[in-house]
Amino acid sequence: MSQPATPFARTFSHGVLVLGLLFQFAHQTDVSRAAADESTAPAVRILVGFDGSCPHDPAGVKQEGPDRFRIFPSWRSSPGIDEEAVGRSTRLGFKVVNAGQAAASVDLWIDWQYHDAPPKDRPSFASVDEFMSYRDFVVMRLPKSERWRTVMADVTDSVAHVRLEAPPGETEIHWHPPYNYTQSERFVDSLREHPLVKVEKIGESPEKRNLWLLRITDASPRPKKNFLIRSRVHPYESASSYAMEGMVRWLLSDDAYAAAALREYEFYVIPMANPDGVHNGLGALTAPRGADVCFILYKPDAVNLPLKQAIDRARPDVAIDLHNWQNKHTDGLLGLYPVIRERFVRYMPDQLEFGKQWTIRDPKPLSPEAPEKELLRTYCERNFEAVTVTFEFPWFGRTTDDMQATGQKALWSLLRSLDPPPDKLR
Ligand SMILES: [Zn+2]
């Protein structure tokens, strides 16, 4: 199947717009008029276009009946590449708006379009079944609720079918619990007055969103080592944002080990490296054909420059790169020197309570010559002889509180495994 038929989708989007204007007018003028409009209006619609929605335009939603909608998570404003290509999306997020007085049954057909991926962007999965084994659920937040509930879908080929009794109000549905640009800005704002935090603006994204660096340490004048934490290079990986928040909140907590860490290290935290991709509902890149900022370019372009400058200024002795892969059952512990990694997993064993076991990949020797671009961990090892690790913490089976606690535990465990330093770090 190709992209949704544009005329139909346009008609639908205009319908929603007109309806919205009618409601607004009715609200401002006359209550009985509003009641009359509601009686003829369709009770349920799909809302997209908000911060972090995917698809990000009504053209990515097709109404197939009064209460039946087909959602296309790989709809993009222009043809995308890699994970932004048709059939390769790693993002989903929309709202079901029930303007009526009673709950309404809604049929949602989430069409991941696996077979429509262009040949050069073919999904790198053994089969459509494997591809959909990561996409056979959504998370849902009911009106006025704070919690995300996992709902299993019925999968046929690459379509996930969810039937929902939508209460009056807005029910939000995502693949994973979202963490959008607004949440990131709110988190940064919450730290501005903290005596142990310096909030620095390091630049702007191509669409003029803020790029921040949080510097966290105590007032001791002793020389300190530098500790870099980078989050959310990949927009769909909202777990990395929650894990980062858990780390920062713990560093600023009353815990004795947190106080000890702030005496020994200055922490440099990049809380959201790709705000455009996060806001615009992308999976991996800064734009449909944009950059993958997980790589550090030795000759950076304008997109990568502020991030590279911040990392070069931090000159990290230790660096954490936060990600979340799709895999339901394994956490990733990637690139940590084996002698430290062995200590680390004693402090943070498999999180069996969330159904997770570690997948461990030890670092490979650095290539003798620096390539044009490198992952954070090899870049920091080559240029600063840093101890580095990439974590992958997938969602399935974890709440947002669990994910914050997981981040906190990972940071605590890495600090514990470095202190006292093993005889041989490598
Ligand atoms: Zn990633």
> Do 167 and 188 fall into the same domain?
no
Q: Which residues of 388-416 are buried (b: 16+ CB within 10 A; e: fewer)?
A: bbbbbbbbbebbbebbbbbbbbbbbbbbe
Centre of ligand 1 from the C-alpha of residue 234, in Å: 5
Average per-residue pLDDT for the chain: 91
Mean pLDDT to the nearest integer, 371-392? 97
Centre of ligand 1 from the C-alpha of residue 393, in Å: 10
Mean pLDDT to the nearest integer, 393-405? 98
> Do 186 and 128 fall into the same domain?
no
> Do 185 and 170 fall into the same domain?
no
Q: Which distant-in-sequence residues (6+ apart) come within 8 Å of 152 by Cβ?
A: 136, 137
Centre of ligand 1 from the C-alpha of residue 242, in Å: 14
Centre of ligand 1 from the C-alpha of residue 158, in Å: 23
- Contact between 149 and 140 (Cβ < 8 Å): yes
Centre of ligand 1 from the C-alpha of residue 165, in Å: 34
- In a domain, residue 425? The reply is no
In the listed set 135, 151, 174, which residue is the last one of a domain according to the structure?
Answer: 174
In the listed set 148, 174, 200, which residue is the last one of a domain according to the structure?
Answer: 174
Domain count of the fold of the chain: 2
Asked whether residue 63 carries a pLDDT value surpassing 50, the answer given is yes
Tell me the per-residue pLDDT of 187-239, one tens digit each, with 9 for 90 and over. Answer: 999 999 999 999 999 999 999 999 999 999 999 999 999 999 999 999 999 99
Centre of ligand 1 from the C-alpha of residue 373, in Å: 16
What integer pLDDT is reported at residue 122 of this predicted model?
Answer: 84
- In a domain, residue 1? The reply is no
> Do 168 and 142 fall into the same domain?
yes
Give the range of the structural domain holding residue 127, as residue numbers without chain letter: 6-174
- In a domain, residue 261? The reply is yes
- In a domain, residue 280? The reply is yes
> Do 351 and 368 fall into the same domain?
yes
> Do 354 and 214 fall into the same domain?
yes
Centre of ligand 1 from the C-alpha of residue 334, in Å: 12
What integer pLDDT is reported at residue 41 of this predicted model?
Answer: 57
Centre of ligand 1 from the C-alpha of residue 388, in Å: 15
Centre of ligand 1 from the C-alpha of residue 94, in Å: 22
Q: Which CATH number belongs to the domain containing residue 113 in this structure?
A: 2.60.40.3120
What integer pLDDT is reported at residue 75 of this predicted model?
Answer: 98
Asked whether residue 422 carries a pLDDT value surpassing 80, the answer given is no
> Do 153 and 194 fall into the same domain?
no
DSSP string, 278-328: HHTT-SSSSSTT---TTEEESS--TTTHHHHHHHHHH--SEEEEEE--S-S
> Do 131 and 206 fall into the same domain?
no
Centre of ligand 1 from the C-alpha of residue 392, in Å: 8
Centre of ligand 1 from the C-alpha of residue 323, in Å: 4
Centre of ligand 1 from the C-alpha of residue 272, in Å: 13
What integer pLDDT is reported at residue 29 of this predicted model?
Answer: 31
> Do 80 and 29 fall into the same domain?
yes
- In a domain, residue 359? The reply is yes
> Do 151 and 28 fall into the same domain?
yes
Asked whether residue 17 carries a pLDDT value surpassing 80, the answer given is no
Centre of ligand 1 from the C-alpha of residue 122, in Å: 18
Q: Which CATH number belongs to the domain containing residue 369 in this structure?
A: 3.40.630.10
> Do 414 and 303 fall into the same domain?
yes
Tell me the per-residue pLDDT of 236-249, one tens digit each, with 9 for 90 and over. Answer: 999 999 999 999 99
Beta strand 104-111 with 68-71 is parallel
Tell me the per-residue pLDDT of 360-373, one tens digit each, with 9 for 90 and over. Answer: 999 999 999 999 99
Which DSSP symbol is given to 135?
S
> Do 294 and 260 fall into the same domain?
yes
In the listed set 150, 174, 198, which residue is the last one of a domain according to the structure?
Answer: 174
Please provide residue 294's backbone torsions phi and psi, each rounded to the nearest 5 degrees: -70, -20
Centre of ligand 1 from the C-alpha of residue 190, in Å: 26
- Contact between 82 and 105 (Cβ < 8 Å): no
Residue linked to tokens 């990637």: 334
